[in-house]
């Protein structure tokens, strides 16, 4: 009898154990779905103090809690109770009259079996009154980091309100393809943001969250009004001012500066810096500067005037400006003087194109990179530009910075032809007078020109100052921008083959680049529209009559 009872008890415990997926078989790749809700979507005169969701499979309870959003926000968090695949949300303080509630389950919900995420967010609207607010704002968030982005909607009061400092009035989340909908909105004007909220605290923190700014505030004043096409690009807002982290005098002529971040080109000019001799109350000018070839946060300054180690010196920077526009003025750092002489002659460390590489024959530029600033700027008579048949070509040459020489032929080169650029280095010397008695020869070829592709068509728009952007999908830094002519025709020529995204924007500030706006003090972004996510441009074949609506 004891044996029989033990066996029955064992079978009972096994039947009550957690269900586990069977071993072997196909991997579960199906995302969980919501198959039942109480109440149904757009229910009116709802009189209960709880709602219910049922999933198609067992889901992770923690991820459900993180993916739950209720708009407008409740004074007290709902109580969550599970029963198998169903979850019940109870509202201890009840629901308010004449308010349309929107409950959204975001895409962070994953199933227990294989951690598959919900493909799209899910939401229901309901109200205790006899009507449902049906106002909607919809759009799309673009970018590889769009997944999991939250949409924050605030009832607009005035431009001085710091909206992002409080929790939003309405919340939604983008789906797997970046699409979103804000439903059940009350009558109001709205300011909407897209926020990649890392902590899910419904507050924007610039140091950790990506954000997208709207190009317009949205008035929803009619009972069934809606707005479609409020799209966003996500961006990381840099609010930290650049600083000089370190200054080292490597020899009596060179000072290595390490900046806290990459800065604009003006920050790298020699005129932006000076040395202060506090002992003699004198200013020593910086004669040359050049950017490190390995790090964009390292800058080398060059001085010719001798300094003594007995005096006290400071290095001053007038204005440091990073790529986000943050500025720090009058940076001063103590400078320890070196009396080590510079005995190294400047040498060429790189070129563009490299030796044996090819370059476009139309509007070509040749760059020669030195490891030190070149003191003499009149070097044209030390350079010879020719083809391999020894035909001499005329050219101009300038210094991009004091260590980068740009050589540009006066006319376009010939296609599929070899060329030689020769530099007599005995005439290139640094601030200490060092020079190298040798000749540098760069041999390169021009392309045939048949490898390119192109795109052209017309744009139909009433927007002002429109720019059209062709952006490579594999390399976001590779893009081409054109403006339509006065007949609305646009043309991309001499484009490298590949898969591109085509998008347009209204360049209202005439900066020539897309402005993503700013959260505080608030600035609108510029209006844009993505025409296509994938445009395959093949070599030797231009796409014509590709018309655009904006």
Residue 174 lies in a domain: yes
> Which two three-digit tokens encode residue 78?
């709902």
- Indicate whether 494 pLDDT > 80: yes
pLDDT of residue 55: 97
Domain span including residue 491: 453-549
CA-derived radius of gyration, the chain:
32
CB 171, CB 181: distance < 8 Å: no
Mean pLDDT check: name the lowest of 69-78, 84-93, 275-284. Answer: 69-78
Condensed to tens digits (0 to 9), the pLDDT of residues 382-426 reads: 999 999 888 999 999 999 999 999 999 999 999 999 999 999 999
Clarify whether residues 369 and 512 are in a common domain. Answer: no
Clarify whether residues 372 and 515 are in a common domain. Answer: no
Nearest to 531 by CA among 477, 436, 457, 465: 457
- Which CATH number does the domain housing residue 395 bear? 2.60.40.1220
Band (pLDDT 50/70/90 cuts) for residue 186 is very high
Mean pLDDT check: name the lowest of 71-75, 182-186, 496-500. Answer: 71-75
Residue 512 lies in a domain: yes
Higher pLDDT, 477 or 251: 251
Clarify whether residues 230 and 250 are in a common domain. Answer: no
pLDDT of residue 9: 43
Residue 9 lies in a domain: no
Clarify whether residues 477 and 534 are in a common domain. Answer: yes
| Cα-based torsion angle of the residue sequence 288, 293, 296, 301 in order, rounded to the nearest 10 degrees | -20
Query: How many structural domains compose the chain?
Result: 4
pLDDT of residue 24: 52
Residue 42 lies in a domain: yes
Band (pLDDT 50/70/90 cuts) for residue 147 is confident
Clarify whether residues 442 and 484 are in a common domain. Answer: no
Contacts with 223 (C-beta within 8 Å, 6 or more apart), sequence order? 134, 135, 187
Residue 19 lies in a domain: no
Domain end residue (candidates: 446, 463, 488): 446
Mean per-residue pLDDT for 498-517?
95
CB 214, CB 232: distance < 8 Å: yes
Clarify whether residues 76 and 106 are in a common domain. Answer: yes
- Indicate whether 4 pLDDT > 70: no
Clarify whether residues 215 and 255 are in a common domain. Answer: no
Nearest to 173 by CA among 191, 151, 140, 204: 151
Length of the chain: 550
Nearest to 147 by CA among 171, 120, 169: 120
Instruction: Please give the Cα distance from 459 to 454 (Å, whole number).
Output: 16
- Indicate whether 235 pLDDT > 50: yes
Residue 15 lies in a domain: no
Nearest to 48 by CA among 59, 35, 38, 63: 38
Residue 2 lies in a domain: no
Domain end residue (candidates: 300, 335, 370): 335
Clarify whether residues 69 and 179 are in a common domain. Answer: yes
pLDDT of residue 13: 42
Mean per-residue pLDDT for 265-286?
95
pLDDT of residue 76: 87
- Indicate whether 224 pLDDT > 90: no
Band (pLDDT 50/70/90 cuts) for residue 524 is very high
Clarify whether residues 296 and 360 are in a common domain. Answer: no
CB 398, CB 367: distance < 8 Å: no
Clarify whether residues 149 and 205 are in a common domain. Answer: yes
Mean pLDDT, the chain, as a whole number? 91
Mean per-residue pLDDT for 336-360?
93
Clarify whether residues 384 and 475 are in a common domain. Answer: no
- Indicate whether 368 pLDDT > 60: yes
Condensed to tens digits (0 to 9), the pLDDT of residues 158-180 reads: 998 999 999 999 999 888 889 99
> Which two three-digit tokens encode residue 158?
């005035």
Clarify whether residues 385 and 470 are in a common domain. Answer: no
Condensed to tens digits (0 to 9), the pLDDT of residues 6-44 reads: 444 444 444 444 444 445 567 888 999 999 999 999 999
Domain end residue (candidates: 446, 477, 498): 446
Instruction: Provide the whole-model pTM.
Output: 0.80
Nearest to 516 by CA among 139, 179, 193: 193
Condensed to tens digits (0 to 9), the pLDDT of residues 410-420 reads: 999 999 999 99
């Amino acid at each position: 009898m004891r044996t029989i009872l033990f066996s029955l008890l064992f079978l009972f415990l096994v039947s009550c154990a957690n269900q586990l997926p069977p071993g072997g078989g196909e991997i579960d790749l199906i995302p969980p779905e919501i198959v039942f809700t109480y109440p149904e979507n757009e229910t009116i005169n709802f009189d209960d103090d709880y709602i219910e969701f049922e999933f198609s499979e067992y889901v992770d309870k923690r991820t459900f809690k993180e993916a739950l959003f209720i708009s407008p926000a409740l004074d007290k968090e709902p109580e969550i109770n599970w029963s198998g695949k169903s979850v019940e949300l109870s509202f201890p303080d009840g629901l308010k009259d004449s308010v349309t509630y929107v409950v959204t389950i975001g895409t962070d919900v994953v199933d227990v079996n294989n951690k598959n995420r919900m493909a799209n967010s899910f939401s229901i609207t309901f109200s205790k009154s006899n009507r449902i607010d049906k106002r909607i704002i919809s759009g799309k968030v673009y970018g590889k980091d769009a997944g999991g982005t939250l949409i924050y909607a605030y009832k607009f009061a005035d431009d001085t309100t710091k909206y992002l400092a409080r929790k939003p009035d309405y919340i939604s989340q983008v789906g797997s393809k970046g699409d979103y909908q804000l439903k059940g909105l009350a009558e109001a004007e709205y300011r909407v943001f897209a926020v990649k909220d890392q902590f899910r605290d419904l507050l924007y923190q610039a140091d950790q969250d990506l954000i997208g700014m709207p190009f317009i505030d949205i008035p929803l004043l009619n009972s069934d009004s809606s707005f479609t096409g409020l799209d966003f690009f996500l961006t990381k807002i840099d609010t930290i001012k650049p600083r000089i982290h370190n200054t080292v005098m490597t020899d009596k002529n060179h000072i290595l500066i390490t900046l806290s971040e990459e800065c604009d080109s003006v920050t790298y000019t020699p005129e932006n810096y000076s040395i202060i001799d506090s002992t003699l109350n004198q200013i020593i000018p910086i004669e040359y500067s050049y950017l490190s070839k390995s790090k964009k946060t390292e800058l080398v300054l060059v001085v010719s005037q001798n300094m003594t180690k007995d005096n006290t010196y400071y290095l001053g920077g007038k204005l440091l400006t990073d790529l986000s526009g943050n500025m720090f003025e009058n940076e001063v750092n103590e400078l320890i003087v070196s009396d080590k002489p510079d005995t190294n002659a400047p040498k060429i460390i790189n070129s563009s194109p490299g030796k044996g590489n090819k370059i476009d024959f139309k509007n070509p530029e040749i760059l020669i990179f030195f490891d030190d600033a070149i003191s003499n700027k009149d070097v044209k008579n030390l350079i010879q530009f020719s083809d391999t048949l020894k035909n001499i070509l005329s050219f101009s040459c300038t210094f991009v910075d004091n260590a980068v020489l740009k050589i540009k032929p006066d006319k376009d080169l010939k296609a599929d032809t070899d060329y030689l650029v020769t530099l007599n280095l005995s005439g290139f010397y640094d601030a200490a007078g060092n020079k190298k008695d040798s000749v540098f020869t760069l041999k390169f070829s021009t392309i045939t020109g048949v490898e390119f592709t192109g795109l052209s068509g017309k744009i139909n728009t009433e927007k002002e100052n429109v720019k059209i952007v062709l952006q490579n999908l594999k390399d976001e830094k590779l893009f081409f921008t054109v403006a339509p002519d006065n007949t609305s025709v646009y043309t991309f020529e001499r484009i490298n083959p590949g898969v591109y995204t085509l998008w347009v924007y209204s360049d209202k500030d005439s900066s020539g680049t897309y402005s993503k706006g700013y959260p505080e003090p608030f600035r609108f972004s510029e209006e844009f529209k993505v025409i296509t996510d994938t445009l395959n441009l093949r070599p030797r074949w231009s796409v014509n009559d590709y018309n655009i609506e904006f």
